[in-house]
Amino acid sequence: MRTLAIANMEVGSVWMRLVRVRGGAPSVFLMKPSAVSSSSKTTRTIRYKNHLSTFFPSSNPPPITFLSPVSPTRRPLSTATCSPQIPLATIEDYCSDAGGGDNINVLPKKGSRVLLKGMSFTELQQWVRSHAFRPGQALMLWKRLYGDDIWAHCTDELEGLNKDFKKMLSEHAEFRALSLKDILTSSDGTRKILFMLDDGLVIETVVIPCNRGRTTVCVSSQVGCAMNCQFCYTGRMGLKRHLTAAEIVEQAVFARRLLSSEVGSITNVVFMGMGEPLHNVENVIKAANIMVHEQGLHFSPRKVTVSTSGLVPQLKQFLNESNCALAVSLNATTDEVRNWIMPINRKYKLGLLIETLREELHFKNNYKVLFEYVMLAGVNDSFDDAKRLIGLVQGIPCKINLISFNPHCGSQFTPTTDEKMIEFRNILAGAGCTVFLRLSRGDDQMAACGQLGNPGAIQAPLLRVPEKFQTAINASI
Instruction: Catalogue the active-site residues.
Output: 204, 449
The kind and range of the H/E element at 317 are helix 312-321
Burial class (CB in 10 A: 0-12, 13-18, 19+), 36: buried
256 within 8 A of 267, measured Cβ to Cβ: no
Give the H or E element holding residue 359: helix 350-361
Hey, is 268 helix, strand or coil? strand
What DSSP assignment string belongs to 381-427? -SHHHHHHHHHHHTTS-EEEEEEE----TT----BPPHHHHHHHHHH
How far apart, in whole angstroms, are the C-alpha atoms of residue 306 and residue 296?
Answer: 19
Distance, CA of 165 to CA of 173 (rounded, Å) = 11
Cα 386 to Cα 201, 238, 368, 425, distances in angstroms: 40, 31, 20, 8
Residue 81's SS3 state is coil
Looking at the chain, how many residues does it have? 477
What burial letters (b/e) apply to 274-306, b meaning 16+ CB within 10 Å? bbbbbbbbebbbbbbbbbbeeebbebeeebbbb
Q: In this structure, is the dihedral angle defined by the CA atoms of residues 118, 312, 309 and 402, taken in order, positive or negative? A: negative
Dihedrals φ, ψ of 294, to 5°? Answer: -70, -20
- Closest to 253 in 3D by CA, of 293, 199, 212, 202: 293
Q: List CB contacts of 113: < 8 A, sequence separation 6 or more.
A: 172, 173, 174
CB atoms within 10 A of CB 176: 18
Strand (E) or helix (H) holding 339: helix 335-341
- Pick from 393, 357, 355, 359: nearest CA to 373: 393
Q: Which of 169, 90, 91, 176 is CA-nearest to residue 131?
A: 169
- From the list 272, 364, 355, the residue with the least C-alpha distance to 323 is 364
Per-residue three-class SS string for 169-216:
HHHHEECCCCEEEEEEECCCCCEEEEEECCCCCEEEEEEECCCCCCCE
What one-character-per-residue DSSP string does 253-265 give? HHHHHHHHHHH--
